[in-house]
Amino acid sequence: MPADFDTIVNLAKNRGFVFQSSEIYGGLRSAYDYGPLGVALLRNVKEQWWRSMVRLRDDIVGIDSAVIQSPKVWEASGHLTSFSDPLVECTNCNARHRLDKLEDANQCPTCGTRDSFTEPKDFNLMFETHMGPVATRDNAVYLRPETAQGIFINFENVRRTARMKLPFGIAQIGKSFRNEITPGQFVFRTREFEQMEMEYFCRPEEAAKWLDYWLEERRTWYMDLGMSSDNLRLRAHDEAELAHYAAATYDVEYNFPWGWDELEGIANRTDFDLAAHADHSGKDLSYFDAESNERFYPHVIEPAAGATRTTFAFLLDAYSEEEVEGETRVVLKLDKRLAPNKVAVLPLSKKPDLMESTEAVAGPLRRKWDIEVDVTQSIGKRYRRQDEIGTPYCVTIDFDTLDDNQVTVRDRDTMAQDRIPIEGLVGYLEEKLDPHSSISRE
């Protein structure tokens, strides 16, 4: 079972992972800012996704499409007419709820009153705004509710310029916006969030094969980055759940403190999107296969993950408490590729000669990894602080360093310590931190 929800929320806020947005003004509900550690962790999650989905493959390329697109995009995709959730309102306390998420459809979870809900009505999740100095219906536009449509409308641009042949994919990481009825559970469900999506285009008769392939690929990705297999599962959507465009959909679910919930959806979207955009735009988005002399709309397999909720899940999964010499040691056992800081440099004293050695050690490390120099409190408390934020290695500079040019390297997980010559420190840490990681910066 993952860590307690409140424990992780408090850790995230107190250690600089996540702050309430607009906190000095009382906060804005369901909006969060990522602090120094949070932005690094979120960036590392996205970089590992990009590395596995794009950098290490020759059949997938990336794009970055606009947040605001022509309203015709959302007409063609069906978002303006069918992108909605069922909304009910309690006549006793006026609280609004998403009907399909209620544990008891006849009882208000806010006030406890039974049989007090209004008839459900569809609530469109699109965020509307306007382009231009005057707000009129003619210049209404929408913040994108998903990154996928930016991929579909660029299908032919990418195919032509990147000279891609089926099967191939187009990947994108970016912000999306949904006017959720009941956001909550910290950063799990927010109105502004980041997605990591890839559309994999293939021949129609191969779609089922590629769906199976991506189900295994995506589940394995989480486990490769240290997530416990006990906290992961694949769940198929039943027929009533399926989106109108999907032939099949699975969720990669994580066992959150409130139960199993979605990390990522993997869907066979058939040819719905390309065909719909071709129909509405009048542009030919079909694919010509020169080998078979056929023209057709490719089918699409879509792995779509939430970057922010995935980051939250990694935090939950990594949290650990251990008893060490009668005291509780809190450790974030994040995979080294995800850890916000890779190394902490800890001088035993602020005396000038030790601080000079500290900078000599820290300089080369900074050029390769995100590091922190920590000079406050006892060395034991500094170790505990670095354990709590997931730093894999601490490098201690002591007074013997001035004589032997060696430092002590402490491992976060085992607490084992090695005495290493300063000149060999970078090489030693490279072996430990994986020199092939996309997070390591030359």
The predicted-structure confidence for 427-436, as pLDDT tens digits, reads as follows: 999 999 975 5
pLDDT of 3 above 60: yes
Average model confidence (pLDDT) for the chain? 92
What pLDDT score does 210 carry? 98
What pLDDT score does 8 carry? 92
Other CB atoms within 10 A of residue 439 CB: 19
The predicted-structure confidence for 283-293, as pLDDT tens digits, reads as follows: 999 999 999 99
Regarding whether 291 and 211 lie in a shared domain, the answer is yes
Regarding whether 156 and 14 lie in a shared domain, the answer is yes
Regarding whether 269 and 152 lie in a shared domain, the answer is yes
What pLDDT score does 84 carry? 65
Regarding whether 258 and 345 lie in a shared domain, the answer is no
What pLDDT score does 163 carry? 95
Classify residue 115: in a domain, yes or no.
no
Owning domain of residue 216: 5-69+146-315
Classify residue 235: in a domain, yes or no.
yes
Average pLDDT of the segment spanning 137-153: 92
pLDDT of 355 above 50: yes
Regarding whether 163 and 208 lie in a shared domain, the answer is yes
Regarding whether 305 and 410 lie in a shared domain, the answer is no
Give the domain CATH number at 353.
Answer: 3.40.50.800
Regarding whether 165 and 303 lie in a shared domain, the answer is yes
pLDDT of 437 above 60: no
> How many structural domains is the chain composed of?
2
What pLDDT score does 83 carry? 64
Burial 114-141 (b: 16+ CB within 10 A, else e): eebbeebeebbbbbeeeeeeeeeeeeeb
- pTM beyond 0.95, yes or no: no
Regarding whether 302 and 180 lie in a shared domain, the answer is yes
Classify residue 130: in a domain, yes or no.
no
What pLDDT score does 438 carry? 38
Give the domain CATH number at 161.
Answer: 3.30.930.10
